[in-house]
Amino acid sequence: MLTLNDFKGKTPAWCPGCGNYAILKAFNSAMVELGIEPHMVVIVSGIGQAGKFPHYTRCNTFNGLHGRTLPVATGIKLANHSLVVFAVAGDGDCYGEGGNHLIHAIRRNPNIKLMVHNNQVYGLTKGQASPTTSQGVLTKAQPYGTLSEPLNPVALAIALDASFVARGFAGLPDDLKELIKEAVKHRGFSFLDILQPCVTFNRVNTYSWYKERVYKIELSHPVHDRIKAFEKALEWGDRIPVGIFYRKEKPTLEEKIPVLKNEPLVRQKFDFEMAKSLVRKIKNVD
């Protein structure tokens, strides 16, 4: 029997009270409840406080570069689609440096689970604005207030017709755990934006700020209706919806690649002699 102990990693070096703790706990519990063993999971992460996530649980890990989480995860998934592949990123990591990769990962639809720890601020570099920081917020790097409008990641994902779009909140850990489980069960690219208050640098979007606004998406919400999902995604202000916004069944990238029809790439034996005879044939070598 799997227990939470199987997923016990290094002691986190996050600030006390950080929203990441709830995400870590929700992730570990989801894995235990789904019965997925650590060695069947690969977590790919980038840089930032979220990037350290895989060290604090226990799975195969590729902690790569800032913003490059999704291409690495895609390479891993294509090489071995029998693995459960998670991409873990922060809002700066995924929506800033890695924005282009997010767009194209959604277009490809590999069966990868993306969790974005969205605290609307750059924490590791000490408090600069991120792509999701509200307009007007003052920081050391934005002394006149943040000038750009914040990105709406959920609306972006729906606009790109991502096959699974959800938002979680670190202040609702049980619901977050269920969302992670749903994301894993979904066949295709699962996009999970997680609101995660930064207790050190974000004085605006605090736990209490969220608690006043966050509400769970009604059971009656038609998750297969893209227009309705988009409407829901535009709600941000006095009321902030969390839960599954949109879901669509479509073939995954792996399913569309003929070479992967029978088994994962990594299990396909390379026959050196066969390859040599193919070269002989192609190049007319006697």
Partner 1 sequence: MNYSIKIGGEAGQGVQTVGETLCQIFAASGLHVFSHQDYESRIRGGHNFYQIRISEDSVMCPKEKVDILLAFDYESVRLHTPELSEIGQILYDSQILKTKISDSRSIDVPFLKIARETGGPDIASNIAAIGAVCGILGVKREILLGVVTNIFAKKGFETVAKNVEAAQAGYDYAIKACIMCPFRLPEPRPRKILISGNEAIALGALVSGLKFYSGYPMTPSTGILNYVAEHSLTFGCIVEQAEDEIAAINMVIGASFAGVRSMTATSGGGFALMVEGLSLAGMTETPLVIVLAQRPGPATGLPTKTEAADLLFALFAGHGEFSRIIFAPGTPLEAFYLTNKAFHLSEKYQVPVIILSDQYLADSQWTFDSLDLESLRYMDMRLRGASFENQKGYKRHLFTDTGVSPLGVPGDARHLVVTDSDEHDEEGHITEDRELRKRMVEKRLFKKLTLIRREIDEPTVYGDVGADIAVLCWGSTYGVVKEAIDRILKDFPISMVHFKEMYPLPYEGHWLEFLKKKRILINVEQNATSQFAKLLRMETGLAVHRNINRFDGRPFGVEDLVERIYAHIE
Q: Report in angstroms the alpha-carbon separations of 6 from 179, 203, 233, 236.
A: 21, 36, 36, 38
Identify residues 61-90 at the interface with partner 1 (CB under 8 A). Answer: 61-65, 68, 70-80, 82-83
- Are 204 and 134 within 8 A, CB to CB? yes
Query: Segment near partner 1 (CB under 8 A), from 147-155, 225-233, 236-244, 260-268?
Result: 260-268
Site string for partner 1, 89-118 (x = CB under 8 A): -----------xx-xx--------------
- Determine what percent of the chain falls in helix, strand and coil, rounding each to the nearest 5: 40, 15, 45
Selected binder of partner 1 within 34, 138, 234, 257 (CB under 8 A): 257
Residue 212 has φ and ψ, to the nearest 5°, of -70, -20
Q: Should residue 15 be labelled a site residue for partner 1 when binding is judged by CB under 8 A?
A: no
Distance CA 268, CA 161 (A): 32
Which one-letter amino acid corresponds to residue 42? Answer: V
For the record, the structure tokens of 137 come out as: 């917020």
In the list 17, 33, 37, 140, the residue contacting partner 1 (rule: CB under 8 A) is 37
176 binds partner 1 (CB under 8 A): no
Quote the least distance from Cβ 161 to partner 1, whole Å.
17
Assess 35 for contact with partner 1 (CB under 8 A). no
Give the chain's end-to-end CA distance (angstroms, integer).
58
**Which residues on adjacent β-strands are paired with residue 246?**
165
Q: Where do contacts with partner 1 occur on this chain (CB under 8 A)?
A: 10, 37-40, 42, 44, 47, 52, 54-55, 58-65, 68, 70-80, 82-83, 100-101, 103-104, 257-260, 265-266, 268, 270, 272, 275-276, 278-280, 282-286
